[in-house]
């Protein structure tokens, strides 16, 4: 009788933990898109300031996130979940692309600085628009990658909890 009560208490705690984890993952997904919006605002401000405010830091962060996603891909292979491993690999490629764009961006900023005081005003404006769109693309790729990362983690958490419940 005591064992049944203990098991019930454990499963109730287990369900609470599952719901808490899923809630945190959902909140993180929302925060990712808030961060994307903030980063696009930074990109917009950078067009007007011509300052390389954060590209190298952002590229380093994007590469670290890509490495984290690749680590999850490897972990899924050890768990013999090839489909999840492929999914984590695919989203890491989006993050790597975002990081590479951020690495290229300071070079474009240097070109813009040279063009700013030249007679090539049209080329300066066109290059500024291109740099802004490239920066936005990078942020959107990273945002999409992180969003899908949390979707995949959430799915795996649900699978793990459901697998443990059936045992």
- Upper half-sphere CA count for residue 42 (Cβ side, 13 Å): 15
Give 86-99 pLDDT, tens digit per residue: 999 999 999 999 99
d(CA 40, CA 108): 17
- Upper half-sphere CA count for residue 164 (Cβ side, 13 Å): 10
> Lowest mean pLDDT: which of 58-62, 87-91, 105-109?
105-109
Q: Are 67 and 99 in contact (CB under 8 A)?
A: no
Mean predicted confidence (pLDDT) in 59-84: 95
Phi, psi of 80 (to 5 degrees): 60, 40
d(CA 160, CA 89): 20
Give 153-162 pLDDT, tens digit per residue: 999 999 888 8
pLDDT at 164: 57
Res. 52 pLDDT band, cuts 50 70 90: low
pLDDT at 98: 96
Give 135-147 pLDDT, tens digit per residue: 899 999 999 999 9
Output the CA–CA distances (angstroms, integers) from residue 66 to 30, 61, 70, 75, 142, in the order listed.
Answer: 19, 9, 6, 14, 9
CA dihedral sign, ordered 72, 74, 79, 84: positive
Q: What's the mean pLDDT when you consider all of the chain?
A: 84
Residue 23 clears pLDDT 90, i.e. is over it: no
N-terminal to C-terminal alpha carbon distance within the chain: 21
Residue 70 clears pLDDT 80, i.e. is over it: yes
pTM of the shown model: 0.78
Neighbours of 114 (CB within 10 A): 12
Where are the chain's structural domains?
Answer: 2-166
């Amino acid at each position: 009788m005591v064992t049944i009560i203990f098991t019930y208490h454990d499963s109730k705690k287990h369900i609470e933990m599952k719901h808490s984890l899923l809630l945190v993952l959902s909140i993180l997904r929302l925060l990712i898109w808030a961060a994307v919006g903030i980063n696009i605002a930074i990109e917009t401000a950078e067009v007007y300031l011509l300052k390389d405010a954060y590209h190298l830091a952002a590229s380093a962060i994007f590469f670290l996130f890509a490495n984290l996603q690749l680590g999850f891909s490897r972990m899924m292979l050890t768990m013999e979940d090839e489909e999840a491993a492929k999914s984590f690999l695919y989203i890491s490629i989006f993050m790597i692309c975002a990081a590479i764009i951020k690495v290229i961006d300071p070079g474009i900023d240097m070109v813009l600085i040279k063009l700013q005081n030249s007679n090539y005003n049209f080329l300066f404006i066109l290059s500024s628009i291109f740099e802004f769109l490239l920066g936005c693309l990078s942020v959107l790729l990273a945002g999409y990658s992180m969003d899908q990362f949390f979707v995949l983690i959430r799915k795996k958490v649900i699978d793990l909890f459901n697998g443990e419940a059936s045992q």
